[in-house]
Structure formats: C-alpha cells, structure tokens
Amino acid sequence: MKFNDLFVSREEMFSMGIEELSGQHYVSFPVSLGVVDYEEYYAIDRATFERFEQDLPAALEFVTRARKRELDQLLIIQPGSHRGTAI
C-alpha cells in the first residue's frame, strides 16, 4: 500500500489522502503503542473526502469518533491483538 497524504492538519493531528494502488480515500491519525507509533487509516469515499476538505469541523467529528474506536468497521488495515491508543 502506498498512502499519499493530500491534506495534513498538524494542529489536529490527522491527515487525509488517497491510497495510490487502490484509489481508496482515507483519513488517518497517529496512534501509540508505547514502544512504537503508527498510523491508523480509515476508508472514506471521494465525496466525503471532498466534503471534509471544505468542512473541517465535519472532518474533526469523524476523527474524534474514529479515535474513540466508533468507526473500526472503516479501518483499512486491521490492528493486531495489541492495539495502540490515539495520540
């Protein structure tokens, strides 16, 4: 997989982009497992991506829900048995 960030919010610590091999749009944010940090990637469709580009509060609402693990069904890569915590 090749994730290409097209939008990055350093203040809110999330990004949006497209996975280049599949064309899947995503929202991602950093997660910490203590000894290692990594990104969790959540699938969104193109229309949602375009809406989030114009509506930051809607994107932040999505990110907040994902950080609470309310949107796990949208994870592009399923986490292992030891899952990190959103940073």
How many structural domains comprise the chain? Answer: 1
Q: Which of 29, 35, 42, 51 is nearest to 77 (CA)?
A: 42
Picking from 47, 73, 52, 50, the residue whose alpha carbon sits closest to that of residue 63 is 52
Q: What is the pLDDT of residue 80?
A: 80
Q: For residue 59, what are its two tokens?
A: 């994107």
pLDDT tens readout for residues 27-42: 999 999 988 899 999 9
Local confidence band at 43 (pLDDT 50, 70, 90 cut-offs): very high
Domain span holding position 50:
3-86
Which pTM value belongs to this model?
A: 0.93
